[in-house]
């Protein structure tokens, strides 16, 4: 039997492929999409497509059309309607405001340069999965200081107070179920380290909400029960499970898969035009050949 807030592995799974329309899809995207679609199909479940288009600077409408074209060419079919994150900005803002009201998020007035300088001055800066963690400069500002600086129009981001979240959970242990494998071969029942990623950014002026907050809200909203994604996002599961817990959201299971890399060992990116699906299609490759490349690359 699944624990409270966890989905039973015996049920049909709802998966999703959630690309950002900031470029054309490449071979690595094909692997991610096919993995999600086939796991849903194998369980008699649902395969969803979500467009993560909250970055209005980098995302472009023509790339959304390209996503539909590429996935259809691969032979994938998804449920309609397709969810666009840009239609849910009000829900993200509401969730962020709720965290702030509960003392679980705080305004951060530090610039990137100031953060880098403070980290450089520390004899032993705390480290996270992706490098040094935010040193917590603005976490201990008083309510009056925060209000005064915001009233003055000082630019700021909003950060998750990970320690406050942990305290709010009252010592409750968190975990997640890994059905694939992490970068070090992790699988099965995985304990969560709530402080591993530190006080991450939840929202900023240029992009109103962070990936982490939007993705947990959308997965819950869409009823996603199995999150499939590349192993580079394995560490992000820790902070996402923390957010799910403090927001009272259901916790999906996770299936991380390997990344496709080029001959030098660098993972594929949207700048790799020669491995874009549109380019491979233009060269005359059939969908089956592209899928074989993705799954065996």
Q: What is the pLDDT of residues 127-183, one digit of tens each?
A: 888 889 999 999 999 999 999 999 999 999 999 999 999 999 998 999 999 999 999
Among residues 147, 145, 127, the alpha carbon closest in space to that of 135 is found at 127
Judged on CB neighbours under 10 Å (0-12, 13-18, 19+), 109 is middle
Helix (H, G, I), strand (E, B) or coil at 113: helix
Give the least confident one: 34-48, 176-190, 192-206: 192-206
Structure tokens at 92: 């993200």
Cα separations (Å) of 191 from 63, 173, 177, 196, 250? Answer: 37, 8, 9, 12, 17
Using the structure block, give the residue that is written with the tokens 């050949």.
Answer: 289
Structure tokens at 39: 């796991």
Residue 96, pLDDT above cutoff 90: yes
Q: What is the mean pLDDT of the chain?
A: 91
Provide the pLDDT for residue 4. 40
User: What topology is assigned to 1-87+260-297 in CATH?
Assistant: Rossmann fold (3.40.50)
Q: Identify the band that residue 124 occupies on the pLDDT scale cut at 50, 70 and 90.
A: confident
Provide the pLDDT for residue 272. 56
Residue 289, pLDDT above cutoff 80: yes
Same fold for the domain at 1-87+260-297 and the one at 90-249? Answer: yes
What does the domain layout of the chain look like in residue ranges? 1-87+260-297, 90-249
pTM of the predicted structure, to 2 decimals: 0.90
Using the structure block, give the residue that is written with the tokens 């874009």.
Answer: 276
Q: Does domain 90-249 have CATH number 3.40.50.620?
A: yes
Q: Long-range contacts: 281-284, Cβ < 8 Å, 24+? A: 281/70, 281/73
């Amino acid at each position: 039997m699944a624990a409270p807030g966890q989905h039973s592995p015996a049920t049909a799974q709802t998966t999703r492929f959630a690309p950002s329309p900031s470029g054309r899809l490449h071979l690595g995207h094909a692997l991610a999409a096919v993995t999600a679609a086939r796991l849903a199909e194998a369980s008699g479940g649902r395969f969803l497509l979500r467009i993560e288009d909250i970055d209005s600077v980098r995302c472009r409408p023509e790339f959304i059309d390209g996503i539909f074209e590429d996935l259809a060419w691969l032979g994938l079919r998804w449920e309609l309607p397709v969810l666009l994150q840009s239609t849910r900005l009000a829900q993200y803002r509401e969730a962020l405001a709720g965290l702030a009201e509960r003392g679980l998020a705080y305004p951060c007035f530090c610039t990137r340069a100031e953060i880098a300088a403070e980290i450089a001055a520390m004899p032993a800066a705390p480290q996270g999965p992706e490098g040094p963690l935010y040193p917590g400069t603005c976490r201990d500002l008083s309510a009056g200081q925060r209000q005064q600086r915001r009233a003055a129009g000082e630019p700021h981001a909003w950060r998750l107070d990970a320690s406050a979240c942990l305290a709010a959970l009252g010592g409750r242990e968190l975990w997640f179920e890994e059905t694939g494998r992490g970068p070090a071969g992790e699988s099965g029942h995985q304990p969560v380290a709530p402080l591993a990623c530190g006080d991450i950014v939840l929202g900023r002026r240029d992009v109103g909400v962070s990936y982490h907050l939007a993705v947990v809200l959308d997965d819950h909203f869409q009823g996603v029960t199995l999150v499939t994604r590349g192993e580079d996002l394995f560490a992000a599961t820790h902070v996402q499970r923390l957010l799910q817990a403090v927001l009272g959201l259901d916790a999906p299971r996770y299936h991380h898969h390997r990344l496709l890399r080029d001959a030098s060992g660098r993972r594929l990116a949207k700048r790799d035009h020669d491995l874009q699906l549109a380019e491979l299609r233009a060269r005359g490759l059939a969908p089956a050949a592209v899928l074989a490349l993705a799954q065996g690359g």
